[in-house]
Structures are given as structure tokens and as C-alpha cells.
Chains A and B, each alone.
Chain A
Amino acid sequence: MEDAFEGAFAGEEVSGEVRRADAPYEAMDGPFRTTASDRALNGQYANIYFARLAKLRPAVLEQAKAQWCMSDAEVGAKLTKTLDVSDEAEDCVVLGTLYADMKLKPNVLEEYTRDPLAPAAPVPTHYCSADDKLIIEDETGRLVLTGSLLVGHRFVTGVVIAARGRLDASSAFIVSALCEAGLAPQPPLPSIVSLADADAEPRASDQYLALVSGLHVGIEGDGEHMLALQLLCDYLAAHVGGETELGLQSRIVRLVICGEALADADAGRPTGGEALKPMRARAQRSLAASLQALEAMLLPVAASLPVDVMPGVTDPSNLNLPQQPLHQLLLPLLCRHAHFSSTPNPHAFSLAGVRVVGTSGQPVSDAHKYHADSNGSAGAPDAVETLERMLRWRHLAPTAPDTLPCFPFAMDDPFVLTESPHVLFAGNQLRYGTRLVKGAGGQRVRVVAVPSFARSRTAVLVNLRTLRCHPLSFQSYRAQP
């Protein structure tokens, strides 16, 4: 275990007994708990794009004015609908939703017309190929974007931006400048939070939020993993460790399990063409056993620490974002616990006045498929970078619905970040990572890539006063005598 906190944490001792601190908590999941009427299952996806563009247009426009030092009148004069952009105009601004035109995106039509006996093409790890195009679209039409500014760009479908430039001979739009929405305004931090450097050192009174993902309970025969899981739970429940640890442990005020608490119960999870056939029964026995194991593991934790569980790709929830909370039927014992809550994914809450929003990681993983170098190779954007972009795009899941399933909402796009949170996280990432993102308006957002525990044996503590992050590794336990 890391010793970064040594000496910093003295538990609040009250007559020889250490009591866990508690912090005010408020779930803010309203937009992500869908009702039957929101889901609009008979509807189509155009409405989401429409709502997204309408919601983000004013912000992007404001940002464009600031970034390009233009007055209202100037912007008004240059802002052009994609359709009205003419060959003559030397410098115009278009504002719309990006669409990445990529041949390698899974194509359901090809799957239907494919020769049924030909071997299925391997599922590509990304969607990129040589003739990909980035297109900007508003209500009136589309323009293909080109220009050196776009070389190595990190845009994905669904991002709302403004682009400045002119048409070239082939009617493509040569971009001379781009403008994103930028960080959304942020509610003030509670007064106890201080981001001044002098205060950055942890204090004994600091409270922590624990984030963990990818527990993958139910992987059979992996003793090492089970041991690490047990240690994690014991640690969180303050069943292990000396006084130093106890001091820290008692300051953890909430645990959020951000997705993939359960192992993939069914290896034949929808992929490729098979997805469209009705799924056969999952490996039921392993699911039931996994659920029981998860309950057994979390019950002692939940006894002393409030726990939120978000569903992830491998969990028994639906697939569309927002994924709906795990049903009480599945975890009947935990659900009686006052300290336990099952939340949707994405999950938003306020803890000790700190606004936290996060997902189980699907939007980040999907966004990475838009870039060939994103699958872990050196120099690739990591989850932290992608999360930062999402903040600047003011959107939690821009690639939904294009390549990421979500509900066909009729009236709204719940994934638009109308406010910047103080903490933004994504679960189930390859590596741990964090960054403090600063906005032009003084916003400070702690961005956290929560690694998959099954892969990294790492959980993350977020200091709710300094917003600093501390990885907690359970890796080395086994090696120690």
C-alpha cells in the first residue's frame, strides 16, 4: 500500500473509539433516472441531436465571441448556416454538431447483406481508416471540414462546435479556427474547500470520497483477485490497518463503485451481428453466485460506509445510457441497508458540497475508438485527456447515440453538462490518472480516470477539501510477508 499519507491522518478519536466522519450527501440523478415516457422507445434519435444543439449553441457562441474577440454584431455577420456558406465569403463561422464519417463504424446493413458463410470480419479496435471525414451539421445541412488544424484532431461525433473558415474549390470548409463550448459555469465550492497551494497538504480533518470500478466479482478461480477484493473491502470497512490507516479510513465518507461490480457473466455478450438476434439466457448460475458474492462482500462495508453502486457494461442492467440502477431483486440484502444505494449510470451527486458526476466509462472507451492510436499505445490520449475534452465540450457522452447506445429521448439531451461539476470521473479505465482542469471562468474540475480494479488493484481517494486524488493500491499486499 502506498505510504503517501503517512502521518497526515490522525483519526478523530472520541473517547477511544474512532467514528467515521459523515458528510452531507444529495443524489442529483434526476435526469438519469428515466421514466417510461422519457425513453420514447417508439421515437428516433434526431430529437437528442436537436436538443443538444439547441442547448449548447448559446454557450459555443459566447465562447466564440470571447475567443475570436468579436462583438455581437461581428459574430452575427459572420455566423452562417451551413447551407448559406458561399464560395465568395472569405471568413465565416458555422456552428453545428460534428459527425465523424468513418467506414469502419460497425455497419448493420453490411451484416445483413454479408455472405452468411464468409468468416465474420474481426471486430476492429477502432473505427479509423484513411478516408475518414469530419463533417459539421446544423439544421440546414452539412459541410465537410478540412484544413491543417484538423490533423490529429480529437473530435468525435456529437460534439457541438463553431468553426471559422471558408469554402475551398471542392466545397469543403477549410477551418482556420475552431471553438468549443468550454467549461460550463461551476457552482461555488463550499467554503471548506481550498485550492490554494499552501493548503494543498492533506489535513487530519479532510474527508475523502472513495472511487472504485471493475471489481468483477465472480471471476472464477482467480484467488489473487479475490484476495485483493477482500483486502479492499476490509480496508474500506476499517477492518485492517493500524492507527494511521484507521485515521484515514474513518475520513472516507462515501464509496462509489463506478460500474462492472460483477464479472461478465456471459462471454457471448452482444458483439457484431449476433447482437441482433435475441440473446439466449445468460449463464444464470454464475450470475446468481456472483450476485451473492457481491452482497457478501459489500454488506460489511455498507455497515459502516455509505456505498453507491453504478451499473456498468457487465452488470445486469440495460445497455442504453443512462443505465438504470441495479434492481432490488438482484441484491435483496443490500437493498435493506440504509447506507446502500443503487444509482444510474451516469451518476451525479453532491457530497460535502462538492458536485461529483461520473460514468462507468463507456463514453470514454467509445470516444477512444475514434482515434487509431487510442488503444493504449504510447502518446495516445488517455482517459484523463478525453474527460477533459468532454468537460470542454460540455457533454458527458457525445458519441451517444451514434456509436454508443442511449435512449431516444424525445425532449432533452440529459448528457449535456449545464454546470461543471467539481469532480468528473470515468470508471473502468486502463490506467489511473488525474488532472485538475481549469476553466477560463475560474472553474476548477478534478478529473479522475478510475482504473479497473480487476486490472490494476487500485482504488482512488478524492480529498473533498483539496480535490487532490490519491490512488490506493492493493497490489503489493500479497508479495509482502
Chain B
Amino acid sequence: MSAAKRAGGQAWTDSKRARAQAADEDGPDEDEDMIDMDLPEADDGPPEPYLDDDAGAADFVTLGAAFMGRSQRWSRPPVVGLLPAQHAISMQNFEADYRIDRPVRDLGPGSSEAKVAVLRLYGVTAEGHSILMHVHGFLPYFYVPTWPGFDASQAAGFFHALNNKVRANMGRDSVTNPVLKVEVVRRQSLMHYAPDGGAFLMITMALPTLVPTARRLLEGGFELPGHPYGYAFQTFESNFPFVLRFMVDAQLQGCAWLSAPAGSYRVRPWTARDGGALNTTSTCQLELDVHYSALQAHSPEGEWLKVAPFSTLSVDIECAGRPGVFPEADKDPVIQIANHVTVHGSATPKLRCILTLDHCAPIADAEVLSFESERDMLSAWQQLVVATDPDIVTGYNTLNFDLPYLINRARTLGVKTFPLLGRIRGSQSLVRDKTFSSRQVGTRESKEVTMDGRVQLDVLQVIQTNYKLRAYSLNAVSAHFLGEQKEDVHHSIISELQNGNADTRRRLAVYCLKDALLPQRLIDKLMLMINNIEMARVTGVRLNDLMQRGQQIKVLSQLYRKARTVGMVIPVLKREPTGAGGAGDVGFEGATVIEPIKGYYDVPIATLDFASLYPSIMMAHNLCYSTLVRRDDVSRLPSSVPWAKSPTGDVFVTAEAKKGLLPEILEELLSARKRAKAEMKNETDPLRYAVLDGRQLALKISANSVYGFTGATVGQLPCLEISATVTAYGREMIERTKAEVERIYTVANGYEHDALVVYGDTDSVMIKFGTADLAKAMDLGKEAAGKVTSVFIKPIKLEFEKCYFPYLLMNKKRYAGLLWTGTVKHDKMDCKGIETVRRDNCSLVKEVVDTCLRLILIEQNVHGAVAYVKGIISDLLMNRIDLSMLVISKALTRSADAFDNKQAHVELAARIAKRDPGMAPNIGDRIPYVIIKGPKGAKAFEKSEDPIFVLENNIPIDTQHYLEHQLAEPLKRLFEPILEHPERSLLEGEHTRSIAKPTPTTGGLMKFAKVTLQCLGCKTPLPAGSTSVCKSCADKEPDIFAQKLADVSGCEQAFNRLWTQCQRCQGDLHKDVLCTSRDCPIYYRRKKIQKDLSDAHDVVQRFGAPAW
């Protein structure tokens, strides 16, 4: 063997191959009986990894050597002693896809064609083995209704006509007979009420890819035998993804367990009766073939509630960018790749490993693999992914940055094996641009990286979708959820660290490892995996569908599952053109808001909420596609069918006539949620508890998303009659509640006060019963909830949950109050619609608004709040507010030319680039800025400046701008219900008259100014020769000096505390703090204190050095 001459990597591969061959020779037949496998074999896999013959300087890691001895530890536990004939095999399914392959008929019946679709289910066993199941025998199908005058004898003719037509229009995936079968079945359309079903044709196709062809032909006018003109069919269930179709029919929920019984499956490699060899195709530990009919899907209950020990790889990369340019994969090298592998259920990580370009000093609890060439490093990473075989690939912004960058970089360098990151050997991971829109997240442009058999979870995207935060940087998110600041290294320093020595690169590596660890910790803390697994189980879709698709697929999947059980079929609707005239814009009123009676209420305000309002309306009124009666058909309804007209004029039959599918789905979801909550009460195992909690949350979210699904005008199955009816009922109920409450609770009826509904919104009403006694208000609230509930149809239920006391009602959807659920202590301060999360407000606004609310609500001290505001305004105008409180930040999304309107942060980015190209912000960076004083009439965008530049150069802040454009509006809104003329009493007056005007040290006229020292006591100019005080202040000189010393002491203390805090955070005493996290409240202060301290010392120096 030539291995001796080659580098270690080759030797490794070769020795493995030798082992594999040896195994073959020992007993090719034994695999029937006993299967022991460790690593997947790579015989016919990707070409050999790139190798330089002279690569591998003594202490750089050569490719294969990197994994020699490690692969054992990194890979999954080996499969030992599996007897296919005696052992059933069960796995939790995490991902599924299909491939076009040749048929295998040994296991059961299937298509007669030479090409079939074989489903591939990827999963993990309870022992942690990775399995790929090839499922045979499942065929794609769809429905069309029969035409007028149809009789069963015409089916055969239709079959042949369709078969011929499709054959003539086949593209790439050609087969002899594209249509396999046409059967006449009884089905009912989901859409619109009909007393019973009719005859449908169920068309079974040879390949899933042929379904759209057939649909297009049928919809576009199909020449029926005996019909003179083309007949345009409406098709049913012809656009449902094949894999989901299979999951629905197999009753396989997402992330559910499934079993192949003993004897029903064959483990690859094996040879079929027709002589075809079935070899392994993937890097999974076990590959088996099984027929669709043998599979047993387990509903996730009882034993099958468990979660398999799946493994997660969290990745972060560092690139060495050039100054002022965002790293580009075709130019800038990847220098480090950090990896963090965890196995579900295990507290300690399985692997912490960093690949570095060039030497890197060792790191305590991580493996460091250093490479001399970037190509080797990239190859090694691909091998690491294959060896560790993760089920989930995660990270922070991995989908839009890390993974595409790696793939593009590998392409630039010609590392051919690199894109083989998926589980299927030889299939390349591709980067695709994708635009994703949904009502929930808006339109978002992103990238998609395919990786067969693995689920990708980008923590950034999940958090952006589910949480509203002020900032989404990893640092800000970690600070918010994990309560810790992380070191943030500016990208301009990264290249510097890389170009240093092994120790500076180690520094970077530690940082990079932390960035790989944090997403995993976020996943754990926020239960992202468990909650998503439960969502997949509840809605029946794959994890990847949850990650990469919107809300609709979830509802659709449930609808398909439900419809199948009752013999209904779901029509494929042609999408209505959106915009003017489209159905989407027809008068569809939103939820109601009872006009708020603005004010500050210092008596308890009881709040009544409708529990699950929209789902309960749909259940109460039996609203569904299948209960909606076509307007034209209303008059033709037989009198025996009971129906009701909704406030929108739409007619739905009642449950006695026919129970709707949506109400049934909702009932199941809500009762399942009740069950999950009941089980939670008795559950002692924390892991199972977490699973149940994730489930009840998923059930709640799912129930609430059904309404949205019917209203999604660009959706799969919009039905505005339903959604408009739902909101109309909702409005009516809110009005009704108001009327009932105000009718019952009056002095005339023997109550102490007349009740008044001060506000109502969507599903809640706020009632002032008049009493000042909290306990009494709560009793009245409970009583009212009961009384009003009785006027509504079941299961609509009005609940009393909380009182606000006191309550500040500013406007529609804008209120704040102390929330009480008990009478002893308030639960929290609840604020709605108060814009403290927006980043284009400086943090001063947030602090002022928060403090005012606390003073008003908790302290109930309105005067205190007014005094506080005046104090802050005075401090602001006197320039006593910390600069970090005034920083505004906006993301730089496109280059300056792309904006029509000039924007402050864009202009600033351009100016910074001019000043110092090395510090120029990149697209995507957040640009922090402050507004500085400019010449008279200068536009706001001309007055933005970098906070650090402002600190260094003593540039005066435009405090007036902050007062008028930042503070004024929120304060006016806040105080409007309380003060008569908030503007006059807050924003004008004595406290606004003292204004500080600092002298800038650069710019404009200062170039021509000569600096004359001023007396430190009275600010009169000093004559030449004196440096500290003037003659008339000479008496007070010791005092003035002592005062300046006190300034020094104050600065020294602040300096000490800020910089030692940063050292603690970075966890290192012997190295300089490098962090530039602009989200950290210390960052600007730390910078400013250096300046302040120097200045304070300089002032003291003016008194002369101590000379004794």
C-alpha cells in the first residue's frame, strides 16, 4: 500500500478501507444474521479529500491525522448485535425526503414502472444510532371530481386519455406509463356545505413530479371523450408535498416514533431477488429498506412521548476581513471554525473543538486543531460534520452567513469534497436565495442551504420570529435571555489577532468557541428544540417545515389529516390576484376597539377576557369551510337543515346539520391542551414535564393560528367568509359585554356605583366598577364574568383574570397599569404599546418613560414624576446626561446611494469611511450615533456623529433635538391623561433655561481660535503666566483645588469599577479588554471615563505639582 508515502489522512482512509474489505472477506453472508457497524463506510462516497503530498509540517494537523483516534470519540455509539429477523427497530423521525430510484418489490407491492419515488426517513433510535429508512411502495395521487353525466364506464377512457396526454408532456422524469391508476371513489369537497359526497376520480401517478404536469393539463381544459370542448377540472389535493402526503397517510406525526417490525425490513447492503444490489447511500449508521404498509407510526403519547438522544452541532466561524469591507467569500479567508456538539439529555457537551488556520495555543476544555492551509481546514470540517453526524445543525445567523460563506469559500478554493455536508453521500449542499413572507414576520430575504437528512435551526431566525427585542445581536440576545454580557470583538481586530501569534489566535478561538456555545445555551434555555418538536408533533409537519415555512403548512397539515378521516378532499384554489379588486381587500373589518375613555384611574379596573376568543367563536358557531353555504345556495337549502346567518350575512349550517372540520380540529387541540396541562400537574420527571409544557404551548399556538389561516389572502385556502365572520362575532360580543355589564351593575340595581366600561380591545374589556376596594372589584369581576358568559353560546367563556390598579389609559392599544391577580401584592407592571423597545429611540427615553410609569403607578406620585421629568430635562440641557443614554442606532442595510432620502446613520457611515477607511461600517452593521450641534438650519442627517468621536473631541450634543424629537412626544402621551397641559408644565419653564455650551476641540472656527485659560473659580480669562485661578479667587484657591480633586477621585473610582468589571466579564486579568459591544451599558462609559479622568487630572495639574 502506498499509504506509507502519503500523509496520515490518506493512511487513515486506507486503513478503514482495509478493515471494510476484511469484513467483507470474513463473511459476506453474515450480515443477514448479525450486524455490527461503527462508522459508515466511505468506499463509493466522495472523492478523496484534497491533500498536498508535502502537507503536514510537524505540528500542523494533517487531514486524516486530525481524526485518527478522535473519530471513535466523536462518532455515535456503535450498533451492536442487531438481528433484523428478531428485532423490531424503532426510531424518532427528524427529517424526511424522497428520491427517484428503481423499484424494489421484494418487500411488498409497488409501481410497475422502472422509476419510483422512494421515501427516505432519517431518525435516531433510543440508543442514539442514526438510521435512514428507505420506504417503498407509496405512490402519489390526487383527485378530480367527476363531470356531469359521468358514469363509471368512462373511467377507463379517461385513464388512457390522461396517460397519453401526460406522457406527451413529460419532462425529465419520463416513464412508460405516467398514470398508474384511476379509481372512482366517493368523496366530499371540503369547500362549502353539501349534505353528502359525490363521485371523485382518484388518480395515482408514477412519480410525484408528474402530479403538477397532470394538474396543469387537467386545469387548463382537458378533452374528455364525448365532450366537444375542453373541460377545466378543479383538482383536489394535487399540490400537497409528497412527503407530507405520505406522513398524513401513514399517520406519522412530525418528530414521531415509528417502528419497523422484526422481519419486515432488510439492512443494507443486500441483494434483491432481481439481482439489484442495494448498497448504503448515506453516512447514517444503519440503512434499511421497508415497505410502506409494514411501518407502524406511534402517536406521541405514553412511552412514545420520549425524545431520542439526537445530537446537535452548533457552529461559528471567523473570517479575516479587509478593512472597511464585509468579508467576501471569494476574497477573505475563513480562519477559525468552532464546533460544539451536544447530545440531547446529556448535560456535558460531547465535543468542543476548534479548527484554526495557523498555530493556536491550547484551550483548557476544547480540542484545538491547527491547519497550515485553509483548504485542509475546510476539508477537515466537512469530515468532522460527517464523523459527528449531527441531526441538528445550528448556530447564530448560520443560514445567512456562516454556512453560505463556508460553501462559497470552499468553492473559491476548489475544495471539492466540502459541500458534502448532508447525509446522502455525493449530494452537495447548495446555497439558494429565498424570499420568505408571512404575516407574522413580514418579508424576509434569506439564504437556504440544503443539507440532506439534517435539520437546520438558525437561532437568530427563531428568535426574530418569536420574540420582540430591542436588538438581535448575539450579545443583546444573550444578555436578555441568559443574563450575561459577552465579549464582542470588533471585526477590525479579528485580522490583527489572526496575524499575531499563537496566543492572539487563541484569544480569538476562545471568543469563537463562546459564539458557538451561546446558541446551544439559548436553545436549552428557551427550550427551542423541545418546543419545536412538540409543534411538529401537534401539527404533523417536519421540523424543517417549521423552520423554513410559515404558519400555513401547519394548519394545512392538520386539515389534511382530519379531512382524510371523514372522506373529505381539499380543493386546490387558484390564487386570487392580490391588490385592488382581489378578495383580500374586500371590507374586512379588524377586531374592535371600544373607544377608550382616556385618563388616570386610581380605582381598580377589572379586566374580563374571552378565553381563546377566536377558536371558541369558530366552535360556538360551527364555522368551517364545510359548513359555509354558498350565497346562491342559501335559498335552495332544505328546510330540515338548520343554519344561522352571521353578522356579515354569511350563512353556516349548525353542528346539528353537520359538524365542521375546523371546529373539530379546534376542539381536539384545546382538549389535548387540557390533557397536557393535567398531565403536567402529575409529572415528576423534569424532561417529560418540559415536553408536555412545550406541547401545551404548541397546542395553544396552533389553535390560535387556524383563524389566521382562513384570513390569509395569499394563502393555500383563504376563506374570508370565515375570518370576517369570526371578527364580526368578536366585535358583537365585546359590545354585548359592555352593554350587559353597564346594564346590570348600576346603582338602580342596588350596586354602589354605576359600572363603566372604559376600554375594550379584541378579546378583553376593562371595567371600572367604581369601588376603590380591590377585593371587592375582583369579586364583582368574577361575578360579571359568570353572568355575561351565560348570554353567549358555549364554549365561549368570559373569564376574570386580573385587575389593573392604578391604570393609566393613554389611547387605543396604549395603556399601563399595575396588574393584580391577588390582593396582597401586585404581580407586575403591565405596559402595552409604549414604545420602549424601538431602537431609534435613545435609551434615555426608555429610562424616563419607565421611571415615570413606576412613579405614577407604583409610588402613585404624579408630582414626583413631574419633578423627575423636569430634573432630567434640566440635566439634559445642562449636558449632564451620560452619552450612552443618548446613543441611537440603526442598521445600515444598503449603501448610501440606494437611499432616496438621506438618513442620519447612512450619512455618518459615509463620513466615517472617509475619515478612517479601517473603521468604516459594513452593510448589516448597526451604526450608533448621537445628534450633535450643527450650523443653524442643518438637517438632522447632517448632525449625526459617532459617539466615540464625540467623546474624543468634546463635540457639543444637540440637546434641544433630544428634547424635541426624542423626549417630547412620549412624555406628552404619557402625561396627557394626567396633566391638563403636559407640554406647558413639562417642556417649558424654569428648568429649561439653564443650558450648557461646551467648547468643541475640533472643527469649524476652532482652527482659528486661540485657547486662553480661564480661572477655575470664576471663568474669567487668566493673564499669561497664571494657570489656575485669578486674583480675586486666590483666597478660595485651596477650596477650588479640593473640589477639582474630588472630581478626580470620582473619576478614578468610576474608571476602576468600569474597567475591572470588563476584566471580570472577559474572564482574564492578564490581557487587555478588547470588547466593543455597543449594546453593553458600559462600553461608552468606559471610553468616556478615560477621557474624563485625563481631563480631571489635567485640571489638577494646573495648580502645579505637589512640591515638598
Residue ranges of A at the interface with B (Cβ–Cβ < 8 Å):
36, 39, 41-42, 44-46, 49-50, 53, 82-85, 97, 99, 105-109, 112-113, 115-117, 137-143, 171, 265-266, 270, 275-279, 281-282, 284, 287-288, 291, 316-320, 324-330, 332, 335, 340-343, 401-406, 408
* Known contacts A275-B1053, A330-B1038: A117-B1072 contact under CB 8 Å: no
Return the contact of B1049 from the options A84, A116, A319, A402 (Cβ within 8 A): A319
Other A-B contacts than A44-B1063, A275-B1054, 14 sampled, CB-CB below 8 A, are A41-B1094, A42-B1094, A45-B1069, A46-B1063, A46-B1069, A83-B363, A108-B1082, A116-B854, A137-B1069, A141-B363, A142-B364, A325-B1106, A327-B1106, A329-B1037
- Within B91-140, the residues touching A (CB, 8 Å) are none
B30-38, B580-588, B1040-1048: which one contacts chain A?
B1040-1048
Contacts of A316 in B (CB 8 A): 1041-1042, 1045-1046
In the complex, B81 has a CB within 8 A of chain A: no
CB distance from B88 to the nearest CB of A (A): 38
Instruction: Report yes or no: A329 in contact with B1060, Cβ–Cβ below 8 A.
Output: no
The residues of B that contact A325 with a CB separation of less than 8 Å are 1106, 1108
Is A284 a contact of B1068 with CB atoms below 8 Å?
A: no
- The answer to whether B766 has its CB under 8 Å from any CB of chain A is no
| B855, CB-defined interface residue at 8 Å | yes
Chain B residues positioned under 8 Å from A84 (CB to CB): 362
Instruction: For A340, list chain B residues within 8 Å (CB).
Output: 1108
A403 touches B1047 (CB 8 A): no
Contact B1061 A319 (CB under 8 A): no
Contact of A82 (CB < 8 Å), options: B364, B1049, B1058, B1082: B364
Contacts of B1058 in A (CB 8 A): 108, 276
In the docked arrangement, what's the CA distance between A45 and B1057, Å?
11
B1038 touches A275 (CB 8 A): no
How distant is the Cα of A137 from the Cα of B1057 in the complex, in angstroms?
21
Taking CB atoms, residues of chain B closer than 8 Å to A138 are 1070
B1068-1108: CB near A (< 8 Å → 1, else 0) gives 11111100000011100100001001100100110110111
Who on chain B is nearest to A137 by CB?
B1069
**Closest partner residue, chain A, to B851 (CB atom):** A116
A45 in contact with B1097 (CB, 8 Å): no
Chain A residues near B1070 (CB-CB < 8 A): 46, 49-50, 53, 97, 137-139
- At the interface, yes or no: B1056 with Cβ under 8 Å from chain A? yes
Q: Is A112 touching B1082 in the complex (CB atoms < 8 A)?
A: yes
Q: Which residue of B lies closest to A277 (CB)?
A: B1050
Is there contact, CB below 8 Å, between B1045 and A284? no
> Closest Cβ of chain B: how far from A57's Cβ, in Å?
12
A-B pairs, 4 with minimum CB distance: A405-B1056, A319-B1049, A279-B1050, A112-B1081
B1041 touches A330 (CB 8 A): yes
Q: A288-B1038, A329-B1103 are in contact. Are A109 and B1061 (CB under 8 A)?
A: yes
**Judging by beta carbons under 8 Å apart, are A278 and B1047 in contact?**
yes
Whether B1060 pairs with A45 at a CB distance below 8 angstroms is: yes
Q: Which residue of A lies closest to B1071 (CB)?
A: A46
Instruction: Given A82-B364, A275-B1054, answer yes or no on A342-B1108 (Cβ-Cβ < 8 Å).
Output: yes
Complex: A140 Cα to B1041 Cα, angstroms: 45
Q: Which of B365, B485, B855, B1043 contacts A171 (CB 8 A)?
A: B365
Number of A-B residue pairs at CB separation under 8 A: 178
- A332–B1035 alpha-carbon span in the complex (Å): 12
Whether B1059 sits at the interface, judged by CB under 8 Å, is: yes
State whether the Cβ of B858 lies closer than 8 Å to any Cβ in chain A.
Answer: yes
For A335, give its contact among B361, B1041, B1108 (CB under 8 Å).
B1108
Would you call A328 and B1106 a contact (CB within 8 A)?
A: yes
Decide: A319 and B1052 in contact? CB cutoff 8 A. yes
Contact A405 B1043 (CB under 8 A): no
Q: Would A49 and B1069 be within 8 Å (CB), given that A82-B364, A276-B1057 are in contact?
A: yes
Contact A83/B1103 with A116-B851, A328-B1108 known, Cβ cut-off 8 Å: no
List of B residues within 8 angstroms of A342 by Cβ: 1106, 1108
Smallest CB gap from A105: residue in B: B1064
- Are A282 and B1043 CB-contacts (below 8 A) given A270-B1053, A324-B1106, A328-B1108? yes
Q: Which residues of A contact B1065 (CB under 8 A)?
A: 109
Number of interface residues of B (CB under 8 A): 63
CB-defined contacts of B362 to chain A, threshold 8 Å: 83-84, 140
Whether B1067 sits at the interface, judged by CB under 8 Å, is yes
Closest chain A residue, CB of each to CB of B510: A141
Whole-angstrom distance from the CB of B893 to the nearest CB of chain A? 29
Q: List 13 A-B contacts (CB under 8 A).
A: A42-B1090, A44-B1063, A45-B1063, A46-B1073, A82-B364, A117-B854, A139-B503, A142-B1067, A266-B1046, A278-B1047, A284-B1042, A325-B1106, A327-B1104
Instruction: Identify the closest chain B residue to A115 (Cβ).
Output: B854
B1052 touches A405 (CB 8 A): yes
Closest to A400 in B: B1056
CB-based contact A46/B1072 at 8 Å: yes
What mask results when residues 327 to 347 of chain B are scored 1 for a CB within 8 Å of chain A, else 0? 000000000000000000000
Are the CB atoms of B858 and A276 closer together than 8 Å? no
| Residue from the set B362, B506, B1049, B1069 with the largest chain A CB neighbour count within 10 Å | B1069
Tell me whether B364 and A279 are in contact (CB under 8 A). Answer: no
Closest residue on chain B to residue A340 by CB atoms: B1108
Q: Which of A45, A137, A281, A408 contacts B1046 (CB 8 A)?
A: A281
| Chain A interface, DSSP helix/strand/loop, else mixed | loop
Chain A CB within 8 A of B859 CB: yes
B1039 close to A (CB within 8 Å): yes
Q: Whose C-beta in chain B lies nearest to the C-beta of A82?
A: B364
Let me know if B847 is at the binding interface, CB within 8 A.
yes
The distance from the CB of A41 to the nearest CB of chain B, in whole angstroms, is: 5
CB pair B364–A83 under 8 Å, yes or no, is yes
| Bound-state Cα–Cα, A82 to B361, Å | 12
Most chain A beta-carbon neighbours within 10 Å: one of B364, B847, B850: B364
Chain A residues with Cβ under 8 A from B1071's Cβ?
Answer: 46
Q: In the complex the two chains form, is B1048's CB within 8 Å of A318's CB?
A: yes
User: Contacts A36-B1097, A141-B363 hold; do A318 and B1052 have CB atoms under 8 A apart?
Assistant: yes
Q: Do residues A278 and B1050 form an inter-chain contact, with CB atoms below 8 A?
A: yes
Residues of B near A408 (CB, < 8 A) are 1055, 1059
Contacts of A112 in B (CB 8 A): 1081-1082, 1085
- Type the 1/0 row for B134-168, where 1 means its CB is closer than 8 Å to any CB of A: 00000000000000000000000000000000000
Residues of chain A within 8 A of B1059, CB atoms compared: 44-45, 401, 408
In contact, B1052 and A109 (Cβ under 8 angstroms): no
List, in ascending order, chain A residues with CB within 8 A of B1056's CB: 320, 401, 404-406
Contact A109 B1081 (CB under 8 A): yes
Per the bound structure, the CA–CA distance linking A171 and B1069 in Å amounts to 20
Is B1069 touching A99 in the complex (CB atoms < 8 A)?
yes
Q: Are B1053 and A97 in contact (CB under 8 A)?
A: no
**Closest-CB distance, B618 to chain A (whole angstroms):** 42
* Contact A44 B1068, CB 8 Å, known A36-B1097, A287-B1042: no
Asked if B1101 contacts A36 (CB within 8 A), the reply is yes
Provide the bound-state CA to CA distance between A3 and B364, in Å: 62
Residue of chain A at shortest CB distance from B855: A117
In the complex, A300 Cα to B485 Cα: how many Å? 58
- Say yes or no: A282 contacts B1046, CB within 8 Å: yes
Q: Are A318 and B364 in contact (CB under 8 A)?
A: no
Asked whether A284 and B1039 contact (CB < 8 A) given A44-B1072, A327-B1106, the answer is: yes
CB interface residues, B 1003-1044, toward A, < 8 Å? 1037-1039, 1041-1043
Q: A93 CB to closest chain B CB, in angstroms?
A: 17
Q: Which chain A positions have C-beta within 8 A of B854?
A: 115-117
| Closest Cβ neighbor of B1091 among chain A residues | A42
Contact among A42, A265, A270, A328 for B1050, CB-based, below 8 A: A270
Chain B, residue nearest A170 (CB): B348
Return chain A residues, CB-CB under 8 Å to B1061: 107-109
Chain A minimum-CB-distance residue to B1049: A319
Within 8 A of A (CB), among B921-952: none
Closest CB-CB distance, A73 to chain B, in whole Å? 23
Task: Mark B866-902 against chain A: 1 for CB-CB distance below 8 A, else 0.
Answer: 0000000000000010000000000000000000000
Residues from chain A with Cβ under 8 Å of B1069 in the complex: 45-46, 49, 97, 99, 137, 402
